[in-house]
Structure 1
Amino acid sequence: MAAGGEALKADDIGERAAKPAPRQERSQQTYERLLQVAGELLAEVGIERISTNQICARAGMTPPALYRYFKDKYDVLGALGRRLMDRQNAALFAWLDRHARGGPRALADATEELLRATAEVTASEPGAVWTLRALRAVPQLTHVRTESHRLVADRLTDFYAEFLPDVPRQALWRRLRIAVEFGFAADEMLTEETGVPRDEILREAAAMLRNAVRER
């Protein structure tokens, strides 16, 4: 029996289709309210202990109301993950748009700015560190993280390919995909590592990422 009283069957392992987010304004407000409460609760009790019943009790809703939007607690965690990834990616794409005219050198010089912007998004999301852990630890949620990071690698590859025409696109994508993973790992480190000052993590990570894309 999985934590929170929800059985986890063999068929649940791997990617599962999540319920789509609602489109009507009132339903969207309820949906966001549930995610907000779930994030706060996740920060308090962790992945194993959180349950849909706890979320409902904290939100002042009945379980049937929650199940209109989510199938189970893993669906809630997946939605939290997608929201966090989307907001992190929005910060990255905005950064890319700001500096794209300056070419790769401008992006390299602004790498620490990107890491700080991403960190601000992560810090603003309730339960973000536990959401990130869930995306790594729960098998049926790992695709949320990988699909989002691949999307970022695609966008960056489209940009850099123009400036590095002699680098095969597949090799360029591979380098960027690794760089993306490293960048988000540094973001997680900010929330977990107390032995290294925050500014040093950002500075050292930015220096490493500046060398991620170069013609070889």
Structure 2
Amino acid sequence: MIAAARLPPKQDRARLTRDRLLDVAGELLAEAGIERISTNMIAARAGLTPPALYRYFGDKYALLEALGRRLMERQNAVLERWIARRAPGGITGMADHIDDLLTENAAVTRAEPGAVWILRALHASPQLVHIRLESHRHVTDRLTDACAPHLPGTDRKMLWSRLRLAVELGFAADEMLYEEDRVSAGAVLAEVAAMLRSALLDLTETA
């Protein structure tokens, strides 16, 4: 007798359905743009009824918020792995490998369905701006935590402010590459890495 195929547990099925809806929303966001995308379009593409979609997301903006948070979480995971590898090497160890962080972050962002449109939505929609701000502040907090033990004489507020600017520069350069085709992506990331490396090493001279 052939055993019946096991269905995944209810919680797993719900997670898979939610992830499917987010993937479809990202794809449609790239095809239709922020204004034209609708929950009906997303439900139809995902093979669900609108009421089924509303069990997971209340409206279009709830979906877009979840898309933004998922992308930021994946970017943050890149950061955590990088800190684990590089922070033990001190400021120099981190400064010398900023290019790794920028390159890995760019790769995980480009792997996300509709990434460029998600980023645009996070900039353009008043309902979503807080997601990007919260994420960039979190990245700054984590980098400050990683750097502070190696800079005992440095004021933490000043360190956070310096790193906050570095975080914004890194993300802005990557986002520019989605639209600007007159520059080399590799060259831009290398130049930004060099700038951020110098900014980090400068902290050791003022500590």
Deviates more, 1:61-70 or 1:158-167: 158-167
Q: What's the TM-score, normalizing by structure 1?
A: 0.87
- The equivalent position to 1:31 in structure 2, one of 18, 39, 48, is 18
Deviations 1:33-62 (A, max 9, x none): 100100011111111111111101111111
Structure 2 residue 100 is the aligned partner of structure 1 residue 113: yes
Structure 2 residue 36 is the aligned partner of structure 1 residue 52: no
Question: How big is the shift at 1:193?
Answer: 1.1
Q: What's the TM-score, normalizing by structure 2?
A: 0.90
Q: Which residue number corresponds to residue 132 of structure 1?
A: 119
- The equivalent position to 1:151 in structure 2, one of 135, 138, 141, is 138
- The equivalent position to 1:40 in structure 2, one of 4, 8, 27, is 27
In structure 2, the residue corresponding to 1:165 is in which secondary structure? Answer: coil
What amino acid maps onto 1:132 in structure 2? L
Distance in 1 (CA, whole Å) between partners of 2:57 and 2:196 is 37
Deviations 1:48-98 (A, max 9, x none): 111111101111111111111111111111100000000011011101111
Distance in 2 (CA, whole Å) between partners of 1:118 and 1:159 is 18
Q: Which residue number corresponds to residue 7 of structure 2?
A: none
Q: Which residue number corresponds to residue 99 of structure 1?
A: 86
- The equivalent position to 1:174 in structure 2, one of 148, 161, 164, is 161
State the Cα RMSD in Å: 1.2
Q: Which residue number corresponds to residue 89 of structure 1?
A: 76
How many residue pairs align between the two structures?
Answer: 194
Q: Which residue number corresponds to residue 6 of structure 2?
A: none
In structure 1, the residue corresponding to 2:150 is in which secondary structure? Answer: coil
What amino acid maps onto 1:26 in structure 2? R
Distance in 1 (CA, whole Å) between partners of 2:129 and 2:191 is 27
Question: How big is the shift at 1:182?
Answer: 1.1
In structure 1, the residue corresponding to 2:19 is in which secondary structure? Answer: helix
Could you tell me which runs of 5 or more consecutive residues in structure 1 were left unpaired when the two chains were aligned. Answer: 1-22
What amino acid maps onto 2:124 in structure 1? A
Could you tell me which runs of 5 or more consecutive residues in structure 2 were left unpaired when the two chains were aligned. Answer: 1-9
Q: Which residue number corresponds to residue 59 of structure 2?
A: 72
What amino acid maps onto 2:141 in structure 1? D
Deviates more, 1:134-143 or 1:164-173: 164-173
Question: How big is the shift at 1:114?
Answer: 0.8
Q: Which residue number corresponds to residue 181 of structure 2?
A: 194
Q: Work out which of the two has the higher radius of gyration on C-alpha atoms and give 1 or 2.
A: 2
Question: How big is the shift at 1:211?
Answer: 2.5
